[in-house]
Structure 1
Amino acid sequence: MTFDALGIASTGMTVNRKWIDAVSDNLSNLNTVRPMDEEAFRAKYIIATAAGYPTQTEGTRVAGVELGTAEGRVVYEPDHPMANEDGYVRYPEIDMSSQMTQLIMAQRAYQANAAVVERARSTYEQALTIGRS
């Protein structure tokens, strides 16, 4: 049971880490400008699923990465060096407040899984101590 808890919590930590990485990448590219003849930076969204679903549950895993729209936000900035002849450039379609909310959720989920790992480790150590007596 203790080893199951360690394994399941560690899969959750892996998913949470990838979620944090994706959000960090999205936030760092929030103001990335592209010319109109190129795609905008595409935000990354992690798709998580139960590992072993539907026959059994073995924690979680990343099932894939969904990308945001390539069209992005078209902004009129005629003075921008990448602007087309009509004065437009592309920005990614990323909402900073939504990304910050996602970041907080991923961090808290990671912390919760880390706490489970710590408790399981402590329980395992206690079991070894009892076995020595």
Structure 2
Amino acid sequence: MSFLNSMNISASALTAQRQRLDIISENVANIDTTRTEAGGPYRRKMVVFEDKAGDVSFKDSLNQAILEKDEDGKMIRRDYSPGVRVSGIIEDQSDFKTEYNPEHPDADANGYVRLPNVNMLEETIDSMAATRSYQANVTVLNAVKMMAQKALEIGK
């Protein structure tokens, strides 16, 4: 695997984790939002990741990573862009929390208010995981950069 492929993989992961952190921030910001444009309470959003290559088997991935010979005997490499991307942002369909507060403007006839299905503990754990993943990919980028610098020094 070339240095640039390694950097592209880490860069795609950094972009995906940044978007994950943006969605987590949106969830936390709307933890008390009882009325949205759609009419109900805010629904927690989650990021879905997928392999950039799409529906490629392990065998195909391995073959794409190895140089092959074409009909003329020349070494070729298939076009393959490894990494991760955000395939979508989905809403958590779990039930809303309810709270008895008859004075709230969004309370129903029985005095209950439907609150968003955002759990601060889950959001904190998700943000910690995303931050750790982001840090790990920054470490990978720095290691690849150092290896490239050392390789250039050997050529002096």
Which of 71, 88, 98 aligns to 1:74? It is 98
Instruction: Please say if residues 41 and 70 of structure 1, whose CA atoms lie closer than 8 Å, have aligned partners that are also in contact.
Output: no
Match of 1:128 in 2: 152
Which of 94, 106, 123 aligns to 2:118? It is 94
Match of 2:7 in 1: 6
Deviation at 1:71, TM superposition (A): 5.9
Q: Highest Rg: 1 or 2?
A: 2
The whole-number CA distance in structure 2 between the counterparts of 1:69 and 1:39 is 13
The whole-number CA distance in structure 2 between the counterparts of 1:11 and 1:44 is 21
Q: Structure 1 length as normaliser, TM-score?
A: 0.87
Q: In terms of mean alpha carbon deviation, does 26-35 or 13-22 score higher?
A: 26-35
Instruction: Please say if residues 96 and 115 of structure 2, whose CA atoms lie closer than 8 Å, have aligned partners that are also in contact.
Output: yes
Instruction: Please say if residues 15 and 61 of structure 1, whose CA atoms lie closer than 8 Å, have aligned partners that are also in contact.
Output: yes
Match of 2:131 in 1: 107
Q: Structure 2 length as normaliser, TM-score?
A: 0.75
The whole-number CA distance in structure 2 between the counterparts of 1:41 and 1:24 is 13
Over the residues paired in the alignment, what is the CA RMSD in angstroms? 2.1
The whole-number CA distance in structure 2 between the counterparts of 1:39 and 1:119 is 48
Deviation at 1:81, TM superposition (A): 2.8
Match of 1:30 in 2: 31
Deviation at 1:70, TM superposition (A): 8.3
The whole-number CA distance in structure 2 between the counterparts of 1:109 and 1:119 is 15
Match of 1:61 in 2: 85
Partner-residue secondary structure (3-state), 1:104 = helix
Q: How has the CA–CA distance of structure 1 residues 39 and 71 changed in structure 2, closer, same or farther, with 3 Å as cutoff?
A: farther
Letter in 1 for 2:142: E
Q: Which deviations, in whole Å up to 9, do the C-alpha atoms of 1:45-93 show, x marking residues without a partner?
A: 0000111033346011111111123862232211113324432322111
Deviation at 1:130, TM superposition (A): 2.1
* Consecutive unaligned residues in structure 1, runs of 5 or more: none
Match of 2:47 in 1: 46
Instruction: Please say if residues 34 and 40 of structure 2, whose CA atoms lie closer than 8 Å, have aligned partners that are also in contact.
Output: no
Letter in 2 for 1:15: A
Residue-pair matches, total: 131
The answer on 1:17 being equivalent to 2:33 is no
Letter in 1 for 2:5: D
Letter in 1 for 2:14: M
Partner-residue secondary structure (3-state), 1:62 = strand
